Amino acid sequence: MTQRKTFSWLFWLRTLTAWGVTFLLFFPLGWLVLTAFKTELQAISVPPLVFFTPTLENFEIVQERSDYMLYATNSLITSVASTILGLALAFPAAYAMAFFKGKYTKDILMWMLSTKMMPAVGALVPVYVMAQTSGLLDTRTGLVIVFTLSNLPIMVWMLYSYLKEIPAEILEASRMDGATLWNEFRYVLLPLTMGGLASTGLLTLVLSWNEAFWSLNLSAAKAGTLATLIASYSSPEGLFWAKLSAASFMAIAPIVVFGWFSQKQLVQGLTFGAVK
């Protein structure tokens, strides 16, 4: 009897603490969403307002002032395109490394990861010069190429760790039955790795959507992504909290909701399948 009592007491303490901590950690984000629906005056009221009549005017103003759709389209196109291109480059490589392991496979994998260790800013001047001379500055193509290359090491690693788990016998069996490389890929490998491809794609999508460094430095009015749009609100003249919040809300909502649905795949991908 007493034991049950302590159990339920602990149970409610745990529940309350969990909800309390969650409230604190989510608060800044929740506040951003609230502020997006306030007027500018309500946004900076002291003490802060929790109850108010919500308004949609900020969303309209952001639309009118800065052509949100253009930035959103740029974000969508660059992240989807770089994800597809990345998968197309990474998958064959990961396949070769997982099933035809050579003497240098491990070294190549480590080398790929090490290219990711260098701060992007280290390559800024050369990449900027190259983008400028090739006319790719402030173009979606330029951003797609840069996003793809900077995500490629992680993509190869993720796919490699998935493919490694597939027993080579399955592939050998299909080869014995006379399957061509394409058929083997299409009917044996692809169904088995859909999960891996999905998580890799999801993570790349999130990373490219949120990428700020290259988009801030290589794009402007034409190819600017949502990250660029938000950064423009950090200048003093753009400093209106309600509008900033509305713009931010529109920039993050798609990818956050997307992230909620794909967290399981993301974990598998991010930990290279080592944490299940």
Footprint (CB under 8 A) of another protein, residues 10-69:
11, 14-15, 17-19, 21-22, 25-29, 31-32, 35, 44, 46-48
Q: Which residue has the tokens 């790719």?
A: 136
Q: How many helices (H) and strands (E) does the chain have?
A: 14, 0
| CB of 60 vs another protein, minimal distance in Å | 20
Interface with another protein, residue 72, by CB under 8 A: no
Tokens of residue 32, six digits: 């951003």
Contact (CB, 8 A) for 78 and 225: yes
Of 190-209, which residues contact another protein (CB under 8 A)? 206, 209
| CB of 250 vs another protein, minimal distance in Å | 10
| CB of 151 vs another protein, minimal distance in Å | 11
Q: Which of 41, 176, 181, 221 binds another protein (CB under 8 A)?
A: 181
Contact (CB, 8 A) for 58 and 238: no
Interface with another protein, residue 276, by CB under 8 A: yes
Q: Report how far residue 164's alpha carbon sits from residue 172's, in angstroms, rounded to the nearest whole number.
A: 14
Site string for another protein, 80-119 (x = CB under 8 A): ---------xx-xx-xxx-xx-x-----x-x-xxxxxxxx
Q: Is 149 exposed, middle or buried (0-12, 13-18, 19+ CB in 10 A)?
A: middle
Interface with another protein, residue 156, by CB under 8 A: yes
